[in-house]
Chain A
């Protein structure tokens, strides 16, 4: 059969198939622009060569080469006919093919851009929603992805069927690969078979909405971020202002206040307003974010409804498409939520900073107006801290301990603490100065009873809160722990507890006591809602007076309060108080050290006696350099 010589092959390949190759190496668009006479010549040559082929070569070639060659002839002619057809030329060659054949080749030639695009490029260009996106959409909507089915049409010549497969299969593969890669990366593209325009429109609308929302918020956040650069300056000024307040405080304690409250007030207002400005900016974005969230929820609801309908109608394709869009909406929503959370946190921290300025000035004003400042020396504070932590530790070691987690309505019985379940933390570290010590006990349970990772269930923690800086600088402190300090401390723990879903019980002790606003706040019903999550339970301890305050609505803390409550020997305190009062009767003042030496009692008890007398308005505490704490008789 195959008795072709080398010369024969050469003639076959170069001469007989020559014009066919010329046509096939070109594309429809190029052919269309080629002169009609030139195309007529090509057609006639192909026609002539096809005769030569059938006569001289066909029966000398192997079956598949023969088929292959015939299909090339047919296909080249179809391309020429399609070119004439597109140009609306009145030529007999268009009559050689059916409308179907012409339409099909015209359509597939339109997808020829995919021959030169890599998969990545296709993915990228679909993503950018450009030309390719439209073509791919058309490709699927027109159901061109299923070449086999299309070629099943008896109206398509056999040789052409072969050619279509030969020439377009690779192209289709390219498109499909690109689409698959796109789907892998970004989720389904929205045109699967038989997708209705209606569904498509819905999705398209939602996609656009998502895009705009994401862009708008991005821009807004960038705007605000730019504005926030000037926040640094405000922060510096605030620090300076606080230092100034501290100086005035010191002067006040030393008994020589000489400052214009009004100027401090106006400076505070100015800084406050700056913070407020930033808070307002954030509040605006937050509001915008919330609005967008609501809009998204509306689209979500509409799509959800559509999804349910398709589900009922068993229209899986549509259902899947809608689900994919729903997923994307969900993602954007959670992104917005994260954004909103961090904005909220930022806003919260600004509020705290502003609050702190208010608090500080408020206390200072009160002090200057004659409200007694409770003076606590660093040695005293250190003593309180040690007592507080030691007492707490002792109680926590009184086994067996019954620890109740109302979170799970479960009581854990603890018989010992291992190394991992007890931790101590210290800040600072100067001698005879408080260190904001914390002692933490962790009740945990193994995930699977006897094995598995340990899951935290309850954390009980004693925290000593002091103004370390003041103690270090001046050796004493008189400023009560403020609301902002309290909230700052809280914010450090709430997130962790919420994520870990364990109950975090805290007793926080301040030697200078607590600002009324903290006390008022923690006692209020709103407190539980506003600041404290269900994972956090708190009581506040005044180390000096021994008072413990907690939210009466918090029924969890009452079981833990005893772990934190300071204890004083009432009788001994009363005895010391008697000594002080007697001394005060003789002289105008009593020095702490004298009483401490004379009474031979614990310092803590002596301190307590001094503060009790001050509280009972029996005198006024002052701190005198080189002498220390002194109680002066009240000047009448």
Chain B
């Protein structure tokens, strides 16, 4: 049995979390505990329980033992590599356009070698897309790395591959 605590900062975010929990409700037997839930870190509980029992019916109180758990979930990663025989400036602009079309938001960038890191939110979730550019003579080689949790990575890979193929990438 596990306890999951998910914080949220807005109503839409709460809804998205609830949607996920709802989706897994059946298969993972997820329930929402009723009542006041508190995590007690101290070990000696007797006095606290006595106090609680004196204020409310004993069967209203449930007690569990809890320990922090970190489940290591690997971020999925996928890559697209291609070469474009265009001017570097042109390629930069094209990349910008393609990413904007995916509503990817520029998070940070570095020069030499040029790397732009975008954040994208899709229906399948959130992912990070890093685009690196390297000039090689008359061509520009492009490396697009997608990282995220779950299906979003493959979804984005498909979309971006398609977009870049229109640019004549190989």
Task: For B105, give the chain A residue with the smallest CB separation.
Answer: A92
- Of the listed stretches B26-34, B94-102, B143-151, chain A binds B94-102
Report B-chain residues with C-beta under 8 Å of the C-beta of A221.
Answer: none
Q: Does A93 lie within 8 Å of B96, measured CB to CB?
A: no
Q: Give residues 1-49 of A contacting B (CB, 8 Å).
A: 36-38, 40-41, 43-45, 47-48
Question: Within 8 Å CB of B12, what residues of A?
Answer: 88, 90
A88–B16 Cα distance when bound, in Å, is: 13
Q: Which of chain B's residues have a CB closer than 8 A to the CB of A330?
A: none
A77 CB to closest chain B CB, in angstroms? 10
A:82-100 near B, CB below 8 Å: 88, 90-93, 95, 99
B105 touches A44 (CB 8 A): yes
Partner of A40, one of B103, B107, B126: B103
Residues A99 and B100 in contact, CB atoms below 8 Å apart? no
Asked if B119 and A92 make an inter-chain contact with CB atoms under 8 angstroms apart, the answer reads: yes
Asked if residues A44 and B10 are in contact (CB atoms below 8 Å), the reply is no
Contact with A along B125-153 (1 / 0, CB 8 A): 01000000000000000000000000000
List of B residues within 8 angstroms of A40 by Cβ: 99-100, 103-105
- Inter-subunit contact B106/A44 (CB<8 Å): yes
**Residue B3 is within 8 A (CB to CB) of chain A in the complex:** no
| Inter-chain contact A91/B106, CB cutoff 8 Å | no
Q: Which of B96, B100, B121 has the most CB of A within 10 A?
A: B100
Q: By the criterion CB–CB under 8 Å, are B100 and A51 in contact?
A: no
Q: Does B18 contact A (CB under 8 A)?
A: no
B121 to A92, Cβ gap below 8 A? yes
CB–CB A41/B96 < 8 A: yes
Interface size on B, residues (CB 8 A): 20
Residues of A within 8 A of B162 (CB): none
How long is the Cα–Cα vector from A41 to B104 in the complex, in angstroms? 9
Q: Is B109 located at the chain interface by the 8 A CB criterion?
A: yes
Closest CB in chain B relative to A32 CB, distance in Å: 16
Nearest to A89 among chain B residues (CB) is B103
B119 touches A41 (CB 8 A): no
Asked if B109 and A37 sit within 8 Å, CB to CB, the answer is no
CB contacts (< 8 Å) of B118 on chain A: these are 44
Docked CA distance A45–B10 (Å) = 27
Other-chain residue from B101, B104, B109, B126 in contact with A51 (beta carbon distance below 8 A): B109
Q: Which residue from A41, A88, A93, A95 sits with its C-beta under 8 Å from B100?
A: A41
Given A90-B12, A92-B119, A99-B10: A36 and B103 interface contact (C-beta under 8 Å) = yes
Report how far A93 CA is from B104 CA in the complex, Å: 10
Q: How far is the CA of A43 from the CA of B103 in the complex (A)?
A: 10
Q: Is the CB of A37 within 8 A of B121?
A: no
Q: How far is the CB of A506 from chain B (nearest CB, A)?
A: 86
Residues of A within 8 A of B (CB): 36-38, 40-41, 43-45, 47-48, 51, 88, 90-93, 95, 99
Some 30 contacts from A to B, beta carbons below 8 A apart, are: A36-B103, A37-B101, A37-B103, A38-B100, A40-B99, A40-B100, A40-B103, A40-B104, A40-B105, A41-B96, A41-B97, A41-B100, A44-B96, A44-B99, A44-B105, A44-B106, A44-B118, A47-B105, A47-B106, A48-B109, A51-B108, A88-B12, A90-B12, A91-B105, A92-B120, A92-B121, A92-B126, A95-B9, A99-B9, A99-B10
Q: Which residues of B approach A to under 8 Å, CB–CB?
A: 9-10, 12, 96-97, 99-101, 103-109, 118-121, 126
